Amino acid sequence: MPSVHANGIDLCDETIGSGDPLLLVHGLGGQLIDWADDLCRKISDRGFAVTRYDNRDVGLSTKFDDKPRPDLAAILSGDRSTAPYRVADMAADAAGLIEALGLAPVHVVGVSMGGMIVQQLAIDRPDLVRSLCSIMSTTGDPSVGRPSDAALQVLLTPPPTEREAFCDREVETWKVIGSPGFPFDEAEVRRRAAAAFDRSFCPEGVARQLAAILASPDRTEALGSVHAPALVIHGEDDALINVSGGRATAAAIPGAELLLIPGMGHSLPPEVWDQVVEAIVANATRATAAA
């Protein structure tokens, strides 16, 4: 896959289709392959050139292995000195990628941590953002979007280093944080887990990404400066980032639209793809009409 040098690092990227540029930004530990091919094609079929990429510290992008392991307990207690970077640095990566590929202004869609990244991107570089969609994410305000106890335990438990054990762990993880209102496809979870493991297994990088989330400030006030058409999508049954995080995000961005999906948790099951794509297209159309 091609790689772009941006913001001082290498970012692996791939573009599907042609048309208006749209950038997909994944969440904690998510690689570009975690954006399902069929979902990407559904978006590209609506007239978009869909670019997906590996964030720093995952996939085939630059790893920050020279940095010390973050002390997550200390960060949670307020000592952020061991966090090697912040969400704002990852947003600067996205900005560099957009500029290097000549995508600006671009529609941006982020899930979970990716939602945090695209929020920060719209705050820091409004010139690059044509429309914004934040999915299953939150503002950074610790009083909203809190995980359930079971989801928090899953989040903070280091993954196994052996392939089959890792796949088993992913199945158990997605049973906890996935979408309870939709069928659970264990075979697909195992397939995706195995593909991600084989492509790049870097739990230290995921820990550094988690540290970046925990060490980043509340974006609520700054989101008031965002004027790009914004859409917030959240599952009503999200155990990892409670739906209050989505509601708070929509309330913080002027004119943002909020789509809550019953039965959806911290995943995008195929059954909701058409609804999600329609909402993304409608939000992008708002940006075109406003231009």
**pLDDT surpasses 70 at 291:** no
Average of per-residue pLDDT values in the chain: 97
For 118-150, give one letter per residue: b (16+ CB within 10 A) or e.
bbbbbbbbeebbbbbbbbbbbbbbeebbbbeee
Q: How confident is the model at residue 289 (pLDDT cuts 50, 70, 90)?
A: confident
The β-bridge partners of 15 are: 51
For 84-96, give one letter per residue: b (16+ CB within 10 A) or e.
bbbbbbbbbbbbb
Q: Please give the pLDDT value at position 1.
A: 75
Structure tokens at 39: 């979902």
Q: Please give the pLDDT value at position 2.
A: 80
Separation CA 188–CA 208 (nearest Å): 27
Question: What percent of the chain lies above the pLDDT cut of 90?
Answer: 96
Residues 147-206: tens digit of each pLDDT: 999 999 998 888 999 999 999 999 999 999 999 999 999 999 999 999 999 999 999 999
**pLDDT surpasses 70 at 260:** yes
Q: Please give the pLDDT value at position 41.
A: 98
Domain boundaries, the chain: 3-290
Q: Please give the pLDDT value at position 290.
A: 73
Q: Which CATH number fits domain 3-290: 3.40.50.1820, 1.20.58.340, 3.40.50.150, 3.40.50.970?
A: 3.40.50.1820
Q: Give Rg (Cα) of the chain.
A: 17
Separation CA 146–CA 20 (nearest Å): 35
Q: Please give the pLDDT value at position 283.
A: 98
Is residue 29 within 8 A of residue 154, CB to CB? The reply is: no
Q: Please give the pLDDT value at position 98.
A: 98
Torsion of CA 140, 51, 106, 3, to 10 degrees: 90
In this structure, of 73-77, 187-191, 195-199, 254-258, the range with the lowest mean pLDDT score is 73-77
Residues 91-135: tens digit of each pLDDT: 999 999 999 999 999 999 999 999 999 999 999 999 999 999 999
**pLDDT surpasses 70 at 5:** yes
Question: What percent of the chain lies above the pLDDT cut of 70?
Answer: 100
pTM equals 0.97
Cα 187–chain centre separation: 23
Structure tokens at 234: 């959240």
Q: Please give the pLDDT value at position 288.
A: 80
